[in-house]
Structure 1
Amino acid sequence: MSSLSIGIVIYCLTRWLQIPYGWAVFIVVIRAAFWACAVDIRNFDVNIDGRTLSGPTLIFSSQPVSIELGDVDPEFVSEWMGVFSVHDSTGSEVMAHYRYYLPEDRVVLRGMIERLRRPRPATSVG
């Protein structure tokens, strides 16, 4: 997916903006270098601590968000094209792409997302 998006950017720069191919590649490389220097990689960390999930939001430069897992409704848990998103009742959201994490961490994250997507059994009081 990443290679495809870079290819699309280079295509757009060369085709629509009439930038020579070498300059288009240079622009993409400079953008990647800027991104690598400007973004704090620790903002991509996802932490599961007991019943709390902390992690990045859509804007990776912002501070991580914490969500109480007991406050997550299964309809607000989604997975699409390798990206997972978890919302709580206050509107806080943890969103990340599985490819940012090690394979063994992906297994843990996918398992947690699957558990969150299942409806909880109703409890009766009485």
Structure 2
Amino acid sequence: MFIVVIRAAFWACVVDIRNFDVNVHGLTLSGPTLIFSSQPASIDMNDVDPEFVSEWLGVFSVHDSTGKEVMAHYRYYMPEDRVLLRELIQRLRRPRHSESVG
């Protein structure tokens, strides 16, 4: 129990929790880069291929062709925000259908 308290105190002093926010502005997705990092990144959702989107054990990861990545654990967010994040991730995981000229 003591270790949990020390770890929580460390994170409270070192990490700015606002940097864990995931934001969508137009076609730009911004958020944390690593699970334990508070450095935010921004990626262009038009530059995200479905193979660059993953979910595993409650962690989601999205990266673009330049290698910039937004990655976080769903449990960091409120339940209603988790629903929105899961919907966004599912949408990004679907292959885009190119329009055919016929």
TM-score greater than 0.5 by the shorter chain: yes
- Deviation per CA, 1:29-61: give whole Å up to 9, x if none: 222211121110011000011111000011523
Percent of matched pairs sharing the same residue: 78
Q: Quick check: which one's helix share is greater?
A: 1
Q: Which moved more, 1:27-36 or 1:65-74?
A: 27-36
Match of 1:65 in 2: 41
Q: Distance in 1 between matches of 2:92 and 2:4?
A: 37
Q: Quick check: which one's strand share is greater?
A: 2
Could you state the TM-score of these two structures normalised by the residue count of structure 1? 0.74
Structure 1 stretches of 4+ with a deviation exceeding 4 A read: none
Match of 1:88 in 2: 64
Q: CA RMSD in A?
A: 1.6
Q: Aligned AA for 1:60?
A: S
SS at match of 2:24: strand
Q: Aligned AA for 2:74?
A: Y
Q: How many pairs are equivalent?
A: 101
Residue ranges of structure 1 left out of the alignment (5+ in a row) = 1-24
Q: Distance in 2 between matches of 1:67 and 1:54?
A: 6
Residue ranges of structure 2 left out of the alignment (5+ in a row) = none
Pairing 1:111–2:60 present: no
1:20-39 residue pairs with structure 2 within 5 A?
Answer: 25-39=1-15
Could you state the TM-score of these two structures normalised by the residue count of structure 2? 0.90
Match of 2:31 in 1: 55
Match of 1:19 in 2: none
Matched-pair contact (CA < 8 Å) for 2:20–2:38? no
Higher relative contact order (CA 8 A, sep 6+): 2
Match of 1:15 in 2: none
Higher Cα Rg, which structure: 1
